[in-house]
Amino acid sequence: MTILSREEAISRLRADRDIILAHVTGLTQAQLDADYLVDSGPLGDFCHSLHDLIAHVLMWDEINLAVLAEASAGRTHWSLDPRWEEPAIGQALNLGGVEAGRHLPAALLLHRFESVHEAIVRDIGTLSEESWGSPGVGAVAQRVWTVPGQPAYWHAALHLRQVPSALSAGRSR
């Protein structure tokens, strides 16, 4: 696996955020909560609205932000323990994260989404080339921000079928 540069990782993470924001900006709570068909991930279909999708992406970004912080400190995050990398466990986390998000007003969920995203970009941007380089933090970051069989650092874009065409060519489904 080729590890993308910090700049490319940040660029893709920002583009992924912009894709979901383009779908949700200006929508009312009722519009965000309305049925909306998103592509299933490898662990199943659990997002039934744009509100659900925001909660899902946010939950994984929060976990991955913690993974990044632990990797930067030379430690392994709990989610990388093989016991947590079972499909049934991932499904449970997905369902639980989406359900928790359903209890939050959209405005707060979006505020949290933006705050977490900016923390991720800031933290990646402060890493040195040496710590980012293989087999450093960059490899861990790319691993956790890559859906199996898909291009790295795209999440919302995958669920919304919006991965740039140059990157989606040849991906397996």
Provide the domain limits for residue 93.
6-168
Number of domains making up the chain? 1
CATH number of 78's domain: 1.20.120.450
Is residue 1 assigned to a domain?
no
Residue 166 pLDDT greater than 90, yes or no:
no
Is residue 19 assigned to a domain?
yes
Q: Could you tell me which residues come within 8 angstroms of residue 122 by beta carbon, excluding any fewer than 6 positions away? A: none
pLDDT in tens, 106-152: 999 999 999 999 999 999 999 998 999 868 899 999 999 999 889 99
Is residue 81 assigned to a domain?
yes
Is residue 69 assigned to a domain?
yes
- The answer to whether the peptide bond before residue 164 is cis (omega within 30 degrees of 0) is no
Q: Under a CB-based contact definition with an 8 Å cutoff, are residues 51 and 101 in contact?
A: yes
Is residue 173 assigned to a domain?
no
CA–CA separation, 20 vs 8, rounded Å? 19
CA–CA separation, 62 vs 65, rounded Å? 5
Diameter of the chain measured on Cα atoms = 47
Residue 169 pLDDT greater than 70, yes or no:
no
Predicted TM-score (pTM) of the model is 0.90
Is residue 89 assigned to a domain?
yes
Q: Could you tell me which residues come within 8 angstroms of residue 166 by beta carbon, excluding any fewer than 6 positions away? A: none
Q: Under a CB-based contact definition with an 8 Å cutoff, are residues 95 and 40 in contact?
A: no
